[in-house]
Amino acid sequence: MPILPTTRPAAVPYRYPFRAGRRSATLVLTSMLVLAGCSGPSPAGDDSAAPAAGQAEAKDASARLDALIEQYADVQRASGRQNALEDLTAEAFLDDIESKRKLLEQVRNVDPGPLSPEASIDRRFLAGLLESDIYSAEQRRLWENDASIYVPAGEVGRLLEPAATEPGEERARSFTTLLEEIPKRIELAQKNLRNPPRRFTEAAIFKTQGTIASLETDGASLAGDAPIGAADFTGRLETAVSALKSFEQFLEDDLLPRSTGSWAIGKAHYDYILAHRWFFEQDAEQILERGRLAFETTEALAQEVSDRIQPGKHWSEVYERLKDDHPPADGIKAAYQRSIDAAQVFVLENRIVSLPEGERVITVDTPPAMRRSSPFGTFQSVDRFGTDLEGKLVLTPIESWMTPEQQAERLRSHHNAWIPIIAVHEAYPGHHVDALKTRENPRLLRRIARESIFAEGWGLLTEEMMFEVGFLQGDDVRLTQLRNRLWRAARVILDVSLHTGRMSYDEAVDFLVERVRFERYAAELEVGMYTVRPTYVLGYLIGMEEIMDIRSDWIEVNGEPDPPSEFYDQLLRVGSIPPVLVRESLLGKE
C-alpha cells in the first residue's frame, strides 16, 4: 500500500481522467534468467544493464532474487491450483510460516545496491508480502479459528460443473481422490478447531450444508468416468457425505456454543498490513478519515444528480425507481453482452488501451453448484500465465424455484443503468484488460501478485474514466455510478471501524442498509465478507485515489498522453502491485 506524502490531507478531491484524443505539451522459466541484463527498457521501466564494472555483481544479486521469487511463486501456484488437496494439519500451517520466515531472511540478504530499478522494486515488494503473510498467519491462526477452510465447497463446485472445460475422466479422477480426502479433513477440523468467531462457525455450517446438497444431487454424475468401480465410487461418495453430515452436527452442537473468539484483527495488526504490505505512511485512523470524506463528497454529488432527475427526492428514492427499468429474465445475459461489446469497441476506437488481437469477454451462467454462494455473479479473468484471450462474466440466472417476489427483486439488481457500469468495471477497460496487460510484463512476481490496492482501485477508476470520456452517459447511469462509489467509500469506513473495534457487525449492517440502501440480506453478506478479508476492500476507493494521484503526477512530467493508451498501457504493464511501487516504476520516485 502506497507511501503517501506526509503533507497529504486525509483524502483528496477526485481528479478526472483525460479525455480520449486530447493532447498536451512471461513467466521466466529458464533457471536464473537475469532480466536486468536485457538490452533496452522493460515494459515496466528502464532495466538497463548496470555499469560494466558492476555487471557481475548485479548479475549475481539479480539471479539470487529471481531464484527466491521462483520459490515464492511455486508456493503461490500450488495453493491456487484448482482441485489441489491442501495439507490442513496444524503442523503444515506452522511449517509454512517457518518456510516463509526463512525465505524472508534470504530476500533481506539480497544486496539491493547492484539491482536494477525494477528488480529493487520486486525485492521490496516480496519482502512486504512475506512480512505481512507471516504476521497475519501467526495472529489469525485460521486452522484453529475458521472451520470453513476444511469444507471443500469450491473444489466440489468446480468438479461437478457440467460445462467445465476439464475432461470428464480427469475431473472424475480428481473427484474420486477428493471424496477419499473429505473424511480426513473433517477429522483434522475436529482436532484443530478451538474457539473461533461465532460468525465464522455459522458461515461454515452454511457452507457444509451447501456442499452436502451438491454431493447428494450431482455427485453420482462422475461415476461413469471414475477410475474405480461403480460400487467403490458410490461407497466413497456415501462416506464423504456421511462425514460432512457428522461435521455439520459437530459444528452446531459442539463448536458453535464455544465459538467466542473475535474476528476483529485490531488496530496494531491493521496498521502492520498498511505499512508492510502496501507501504502506507498513514495508519488506520487516517484511512478512516479518507473514507469518511469520500463518503460525504460522493453523497453530495449523488444528491445533485438525483435532483436533476426528480427534484426534491432523496437520491436513494430516485435510485430505487431506476431499478424498475431492467431486461426480462431471459434477456439478462444478452443485455450484459451488448454493453460489454460496446465498451470494447469504444476502448479500441478511442485508443484508451491497446489490446491483443482476438481477445474477448463472454457471458455465461453460474454453475448450479455455486449459485447459492454467488447469487449475482462473478468475473473470471484470463490466466496471467496462459495464452487464452477470453474473459467470462459469470451471471447467476433468475431461477424457477424463487418466489415471484424474489425473482422480481433479483431482476431489479440487473437494471439498465447498472449493466454498462459492470461492463466497464469487469471487462473494458477494467479487470479483463488489467489481466491482459499484466502478461506483457516479463517479471514473474508481477504476474503472481494481484494486490487489491491496485487491481480493485483500477476497476473503480475505470467507471469514472469511462463516464468522463463519454461512454457512460445519462443521469441514471451517473447516479448508479455514484451510488457504487458511495458503497466503496462505505467499505473503507466499515472495514476500518469493524477491525479496530469502533463498530459492531450489526452496526455495520445497519450503516449499509440506512446510508447506502442495501437490502438487509445483502448487507449481512457484505459485512460478513469484511470480517473474513480485513483490508481487502480498501483497495477500491483508496486504490482509485492513489492511481489518480499517479496519473496527475505523470501528466505534470510528461504532458497529456495522446492517445490515452500512452499512459494506461504503461500503468497496467507494471502489474497489480502497491501504488507506491507503481509510482516508483513509472516516475522513479520512492
> Does some domain include residue 151?
yes
Rg, C-alpha atoms of the chain: 25
Task: List 197's β-bridge partners, or say none.
Answer: 261
Evaluate whether 530 touches 537 at the Cβ level (below 8 Å). Answer: yes
Spatial separation of the C-alpha atoms in residues 62 and 128, rounded to whole Å: 18
Span 435-487, pLDDT tens digits: 999 999 999 999 999 999 999 999 999 999 999 999 999 999 999 999 999 99
Span 104-124, pLDDT tens digits: 999 999 999 999 999 999 999
Span 55-95, pLDDT tens digits: 888 889 999 999 999 999 988 877 655 445 678 999 999 99
**Residue whose entry in the numeric block shows the C-alpha cell 501528466:** 555
- At residue 308's C-alpha, the angle toward residues 303 and 313, to 5°, is 55
Q: Which three cell numbers stand for residue 164?
A: 467445465
Domain count within the chain: 1
**Residue whose entry in the numeric block shows the C-alpha cell 503472481:** 448
> Does some domain include residue 168?
yes
The pLDDT assigned to 160 comes to 87
pLDDT at 34 over 80: no
> Does some domain include residue 244?
yes
Average pLDDT, the chain: 88
Spatial separation of the C-alpha atoms in residues 268 and 247, rounded to whole Å: 34
For the four alpha carbons of 575, 561, 555 and 14, in that order, the dihedral sign comes to negative
The pLDDT assigned to 375 comes to 77
Confidence at 49, pLDDT banded by 50, 70, 90: very low
Q: Which residue has the higher pLDDT, 19 or 512?
A: 512
Q: Domain residues for 253?
A: 147-195+198-258
pTM higher than the cut 0.85: yes
Span 537-559, pLDDT tens digits: 999 999 999 999 999 999 999 99
> Does some domain include residue 527?
no
pLDDT at 213 over 50: yes
Confidence at 38, pLDDT banded by 50, 70, 90: very low
The pLDDT assigned to 8 comes to 29
The pLDDT assigned to 408 comes to 92
> Does some domain include residue 406?
no
The pLDDT assigned to 45 comes to 45
> Does some domain include residue 346?
no
> Does some domain include residue 204?
yes
DSSP, res 327: -
The pLDDT assigned to 372 comes to 66
Span 352-377, pLDDT tens digits: 999 999 999 999 988 776 676 677 88
Evaluate whether 222 touches 236 at the Cβ level (below 8 Å). Answer: no
